[in-house]
Amino acid sequence: MKLHLKSDSITIHAAENSSHYLHVSHILTHILGRSFWVNDTLINFVTPQNSEQRQAFLTSLYYACALSSKTHNASFLEKLLHASQKPIRLVKKRLIRPFKEVPIDPYGLLNAKKTESLASIRKKYLTLAKLFHPDAIAQEDETSVKASTTKFQQIHEAYESIKAEKTKKIAA
């Protein structure tokens, strides 16, 4: 979780699946002021009756951030409390999880068998490469060109993988 003080607002960046995010969004929507969502950002405006609660919330939020980052900046806390009347923006940070590539069977991709010769597999590779080459696509829409380019790359990588495997066996 990160806390930023801007000229027009106080911004809190929190990961969408963190307990901090759930806690802060609950407090901003149900306890402090008026709140509304714009896309993935919760914006909270101050109301006169919750000024002290808001300062207490910002103080505890500051200390939570300071504890997790192992830093303490008294002047930032002071500026934060002076800016407590500004809108608070809670920005949901989406976590980007690297997807695991599903291993593709290179032989299956080229419609070949492991027992086939490299020359036979090469013929199948060339046939498929001609079929899926991006320059050979008659339709010029972006999605079909992108799909054929991806397929062409997969076919090429599969052939290179088989070729390396077969030449390694011959060399050994």
Q: Which domains does the chain have, with CATH numbers?
A: 2-93 (no CATH), 106-171 (1.10.287)
Q: What is the mean pLDDT of the chain?
A: 84
The residue among 72 and 125 whose pLDDT is bigger is: 125
Average pLDDT for 33-61: 84
Q: Quote the pLDDT of residue 101.
A: 56
Contacts of residue 10, Cβ cutoff 8 Å, sequence gap at least 6: 3, 4, 58, 80, 83, 84, 86, 87, 88, 89
Give 166's pLDDT tier (boundaries 50, 70, 90): confident
Residue 12: name the closest of 62, 53, 51, 67 by CA. Answer: 62
The residue among 124 and 132 whose pLDDT is bigger is: 124
φ/ψ (deg, to 5) at 110 = -95, 5
Model confidence at 151: pLDDT above 60: yes
Percentage of the chain beyond pLDDT 70 is: 91
Give 145's pLDDT tier (boundaries 50, 70, 90): confident
Q: Quote the pLDDT of residue 97.
A: 57
Average pLDDT for 147-164: 89
pLDDT in tens, 65-110: 888 778 888 899 999 999 988 999 999 887 665 555 556 789 999 9
Give 28's pLDDT tier (boundaries 50, 70, 90): confident
Residue 32: name the closest of 48, 17, 15, 21 by CA. Answer: 48
Average pLDDT for 11-39: 83
Q: Quote the pLDDT of residue 122.
A: 94
CB 94 within 8 A of CB 14: no
CA distances from 160 to 102, 111, 146, 168 (A): 18, 15, 21, 12
Model confidence at 61: pLDDT above 60: yes
CB 107 within 8 A of CB 94: no
